Each structure stands twice: as C-alpha cells, then as structure tokens.
Amino acid sequence: MKKELKRYILEWAVDIAVAGIIVYIITTFAFQNMYVVGSSMNPTLNNGEAVLVNKLTYLVKEPSRYDIVAFKHINIANEEINFVKRIIGISGDKIDIIDGIIYINDEMLGDPVSEYSKQDIIKAGSMVYPIIVPKDSYFVLGDNKTNSIDSRYQEVGMIPKKEIIGKIIVRIWPLWKFKIFK
C-alpha cells in the first residue's frame, strides 16, 4: 500500500511539473497576457482590460500598418515598461502632422479598421516633421491621440522591431467585451 501511495504521489508530481514546464514555454515563447494601463488606447482598449499577445506572429511576417502591438519601453526613471499602441508608420514611410492631421507618404491617414483617423491631433509632440521611419522600425500612436505618449514624442520615438513583444490578438477581460483583433 505504501509503495502504491508513493507511486501515485510521484506520478502526480511529474504531471504538475510537466504542466508547469508547458505553461512556462507557452507564456515565454508563444503567448503572453498583459493588462492595458492608462487611457492611451481608448476607445479600442481601456485601462485595466486584459489582452493576449501573440509573440510568434512577427517571426513569420512583418508588422503591418494598424496592427495593435505591445512593445518594451524604458521610461525616464530607467524602468522597463510595456506599452500597447497601434502601428501607423512602417519602414520607409514619410510621416507628417499638419494642422492636427496625420499624413503618411503625403496622403491623409485613412484607417479602414475604426474611427481612428477621424480624431485630429492636438499635440504633434516633440518630434520634428516630416519623419522618415527608419528600416526595421515603426511609428506608433495610441488610439486616444489627445492623450497618448507615443512616437510623436522623442522619449518614445520610433520603435525598433526587436522591441516589439508581439501583436495583440484578443481582448480577454472583461469577458463581456471579448474581442478578436485582426
């Protein structure tokens, strides 16, 4: 009887260890949950909402205009934090902000995904325009263009591809606002 109990406990411990290793691998290399902090992505994502980040997407394809991404940022206190923003400019794009309107390659921003392009920018930030997005970098903005620290500001600037954690693929919390993003 004692031998059977030891075997049962050992099998149970092995199952837990294997499950833990699988969870660690998935959350480290494939997917990560993340909470949105602040109002910079309103109305698309709100403070406190949980999203799922796909870390594998950009291993097989390049980030696209209008993708919502999570990326690493070092703030002025030299702390690494995660930001969630929308890609507006991709490598080689010319970005300009004139009278509160965003222009990409001399054409007014037009977003087929949402009402995003209809909100004028009150602050063009601290960058000097026009800007050419460097190779393997991205110009990102929060959907709440009047209240977002993003690529318009030198402290954030262009986001190198290597700093992108992944693409936001789904809002998982609150459950009643569950949404899959393209």
Check if 117 is active-site: no
**Residue tagged active-site, from 2, 6, 40, 126:** 40
Question: Distance between CA 81 and CA 35 in Å, rounded?
Answer: 12
Q: Say what the alpha-carbon torsion angle 84, 90, 95, 99 is, to the nearest 10 degrees.
A: -40
Cα→Cα distances 92→6, 136, 148, 150, 178, Å: 63, 9, 23, 18, 35
**Of residues 85, 137, 145, 167, which has the active-site annotation?**
85
Active site residue 40: yes
Q: Which of 177, 180, 169, 178 is nearest to 67 (CA)?
A: 169
67 burial level (CB within 10 Å; 0-12, 13-18, 19+): buried
Do the bridges between strand 94-98 and strand 159-160 make them parallel or antiparallel, or are there none, so unpaired? Answer: unpaired
Give the span between the Cα atoms of 116 and 181, in whole angstroms: 15
Please list the helix, strand and coil fractions of the chain in percent, rounded to the nearest 5, in that order.
25, 30, 45
Q: Catalytic residues, which ones?
A: 40, 85
